[in-house]
Amino acid sequence: MIKASGGDRHRWRKFKSGLASTLSFSSALLVIAPLALVFFHLVISGATSVNWDFFTHLPAPVGEKGGGMANAIVGTLELLALASLVGVPIGVLGGVYLAEYGSARINWGLRFVADVLNGVPSITWGVVVYGLVVLRFKSFSAYAGGLALGLMMIPLIMRTTEEVLLLVPNGYREASLALGIARWKTIVHIVMKTASKGIVTGILLALARIAGETAPLLFTAFGNRFWNHDLAEPIAALPLQIFAYAISPYDDWHRQAWAGALILVVGIFFINVLVRFLTRERTATVL
Amino acid sequence: MGSPSRFGDRAFEWLTMAMAGAVALLVILVGWQLSRDSMLAIHQFGWNFLVSTTWDPVAEQFGAAPFIYGTLVSSLIALIIAVPLSIATAVYLTELAPLSIRQPIISLIEMLAAIPSVILGLWGIFVMIPFLRDYPFPFLKKYFGWSGLFTGPIYGVSMLAGGIIIAVMILPIITSVSREILRSVPNLQREAAYALGATRWEVTRIAVLSYARKGLFGAVILGLGRALGETMAVTMVIGNTPQIVLSLLKPGYTLASVIANEFTEATTELYLQALFEIALVLFGITILANLLAQLLLKTMGTTQTTRAVQ
């Protein structure tokens, strides 16, 4: 077959192969390019605006120089804590069910639904929580924002928890059950304990994922220029503040938006590095 | 084993079952809530809501056509840009790249996926838009204006800018899901093709890509699902003007952005209900896309595909 195609044809095929390799390499570079560009501009424009005031002061009124995002930073942390109250128990226990109980068919279905749910646009959660909570209590609130983010966490944590539980060798379960330990105690004290690092990793990844979410907070947490003293009232969040400042017409606010963006990205990357550290440890030991 | 632990077992199983069942309940809850709160608008406008091009809050006339159009066109632009790049990158990472640089590139792509939408939007407003306005857009208008796709005044904020920013957002997910799919192609496939004297590209094309076709299609549809619902970054660069025009250099509007922009400004009951109905339409479209994607991916026989980065 190769003989019949002749030398020219062979060279042409080699050329095509080389061209395809070059193109796919260039594609990889193009995919990474936005990351490099965004990061470059974040550092250039953000670093000059981050100072001590940024972490300790409230936003300054229009026209006044300086000010910070202290309330937004704290607000984001409060929202993440509230979200965890919803997302972690439901996600982790749901993951336990998928890994330890249920029939193959039902679990396939639940997994399927969880994955579909994962693809629901984040703004949908904002709208739904607005309809369920904000309209009913007639007020934007930290609770509503936390709930919207928490609902987003559920399918994420459920799937990662299930995956790490399935990595626990069955021998552990059998050994425990053979000692007469109840099944639920086996699951809680042996299986979940063995996989605890993996479960924490999944929770951290979910937090990193929702920390930068803006759309679900627009009409739930709503944002606040001052400190929040009551979780039943609107609360500031870093992504909301970045959005508000980015679309404003003031140069000073644009600078603040870049600074906020830099802090947010650094925070998210910090969680990701932490996760990498945890997972490296995990592969080194049993799990 | 005593009866107390039996009770404990039963209770724990039910507890976890209820939590796992929550995902199914959530889907129903979202559908129910969105339909309930848009009932008034649904009765008022009927199916006409989907085809009417009027969006006039003052006259209380609401039609979703410009937003559906904007969502579809911007997502299509994003797919045209992102699909070839993502799949080629996945091929590079599974078939061609030296082993030592695979993991670093994968980590970088995961970092791109971790950048929040609002920050990409910020970058879009202050870096991408000015650049597009000064260089590529005038070029497109001058040399490709005849096509009708690149005509009219250049503002920068435009359907094309929206599509580009969505493309950046969906690159990581399509790449990583495609990579998982290509990795699941048995090595025997490749070896057989090599044994026939195929070049590297021929092996990739004949033995790998055609084998993984179905899964790759699933990856693309998954990316489409993300593109349709992408909100913040698009809202910041698409121009937010409800109109149906051919030119991609003119501003547009998407389902997600109209919700983001106007939800808190909806002053009348009908206005708010129309926005709830927009959310219902968006939810319906994305659920369909995700159902299709998951079906394609799950029947591929790969287990890890959907976990991916996001």
pLDDT tens string B2-30: 556 688 999 999 999 999 999 999 999 99
Closest Cα in chain B, distance from residue A229 (Å): 23
Task: Tell me, yes or no, if B191 comes closer than 8 A to chain A by beta carbon.
Answer: no
| Residue B194 sits at the chain A interface (C-beta within 8 Å) | no
Inform me whether the pLDDT recorded for B298 exceeds 80. Answer: yes
Chain B positions touching A16 (Cβ under 8 A) are 199, 201
Q: Beta strands B61-62 and B55-56: pairing type?
A: antiparallel
Q: Closest Cα to residue B208, out of A104, A20, A43? A: A20
Average pLDDT over residues A188-197: 95
Question: Does B216 have pLDDT greater than 50?
Answer: yes
Collect contacts of A55-58 with beta carbons under 8 A, ≥24 apart: A58/A225, A58/A226, A58/A227
CA atoms of A79 and A143, how far apart (whole Å): 8
For residue A53, what pLDDT band results from cuts at 50, 70 and 90? confident
pLDDT of residue A62: 81
Query: Which residue in B141, B125, B90 sits closest to A41, CA to CA?
Result: B125
Torsion B277-B283-B286-B292 (CA) sign: negative
- B29 in reach of chain A (CB within 8 A): yes
Q: Which CATH superfamily is domain B38-309 in?
A: MetI-like (1.10.3720.10)
Q: State mean pLDDT over A66-88.
A: 95
**From the CA of B48, how many Å to the nearest CA of chain A?**
23
Confidence of residue B301 (pLDDT cuts 50, 70, 90): low
Is the per-residue pLDDT at B300 higher than 90?
no
Q: What is the pLDDT of residues B37-62, one digit of tens each?
A: 999 999 999 999 999 999 999 999 99
B120 touches chain A (CB under 8 A): yes
B 213-272: CB under 8 A from A: 222, 225-226, 228-232, 236, 256, 259-260, 263-264
Output the six-digit token pair for B25: 């309940």
Q: Percent of chain A scored above 70 by pLDDT?
A: 95
pLDDT number for residue B267: 87
The residue extents of the domains of chain A are 6-47, 53-284
pLDDT of A246 above 90: yes
Give the global pTM: 0.93
What is the maximum alpha-carbon separation in chain B? Answer: 83
pLDDT band at A1 (very low <50, low <70, confident <90, very high): very low
User: Distance, in angstroms, between A265 CA and closest chain B CA?
Assistant: 7
Examine the pLDDT at A21 and tell me if it is beyond 80: yes
HSE (side-chain half, CA atoms, 13 Å) at B87: 21
| pLDDT at residue A180 in the model | 92
Q: Is the dihedral of CA B138, B144, B146, B152 positive or negative?
A: negative
Average pLDDT over residues A122-134: 96
Cα–Cα distance for residue pair A147/A85, rounded to 1 Å: 9
B74 lies within 8 A of chain A by CB: no
Is A131–B116 a contact, with Cβ atoms under 8 angstroms apart? Answer: no
DSSP alpha helices (H): ranges in chain A?
2-47, 52-56, 70-100, 104-118, 122-129, 135-137, 142-166, 170-178, 183-185, 192-194, 196-211, 238-246, 251-284
Rounded Cα distance, B275 and B277, in Å: 5
* Inter-residue contact B229 to B286 (CB < 8 Å): yes
Distance CA B256, CA B263 (A): 11
Contact B33, A122 (CB under 8 A): no
Q: Which residues of A touch B30 (CB under 8 A)?
A: 120, 124, 128
Q: Using CA coordinates, name the residue in chain B closest to A22.
A: B92
Q: Is B16 on the interface with A (CB under 8 A)?
A: yes
A116 to B294: CB separation less than 8 angstroms, yes or no: yes
pLDDT of residue A66: 80
Output phi, psi for B184, to 5 deg.
-80, -5
Nearest CA in chain A to B82: A31
CA pair distance A105, A128, nearest whole angstrom = 30
Secondary structure class of B140 (helix, strand, coil): helix
Say yes or no for a CB contact (<8 Å) between A1 and B197.
yes
Contact predicate A96/A161, CB 8 Å: yes
**What residues have CB less than 8 Å from A57, skipping those under 6 apart?**
A66, A67, A68, A70
pLDDT for A188 beyond 90: yes
| CATH architecture of the domain covering A53-284 | Orthogonal Bundle (1.10)
CB under 8 Å to B20, separation ≥6 — which residues?
A93, A94, A95, A97, A98, A102, A110, A158
Q: Report chain B residues whose CB lies below 8 A from the CB of A45.
A: 126
At residue A281, the 3 state secondary structure works out as: helix
Joined together, the tokens standing for residue A285 give 């030991």
Alpha-carbon Rg of chain A, whole angstroms?
25
Chain B residue with minimal CA distance to A184? B9
Cα of A148 vs its chain's centroid, Å: 13
**Residues B184/B300, Cβ–Cβ less than 8 Å:** yes
Nearest CA in chain B to A181: B1
Q: Which residues of A touch B172 (CB under 8 A)?
A: 31
- Of the pLDDT bands very low, low, confident and very high (cuts 50, 70, 90), residue B304 is very low
Residue B296: list chain A partners with CB under 8 A. none
What local confidence, expressed as pLDDT, does residue B44 receive? 94
Q: Does A20 touch chain B (CB under 8 A)?
A: yes
For B246-286, the pLDDT digits (tens) are 999 999 999 999 999 999 999 899 999 999 999 999 999 99
pLDDT of B92 > 50? The answer is yes
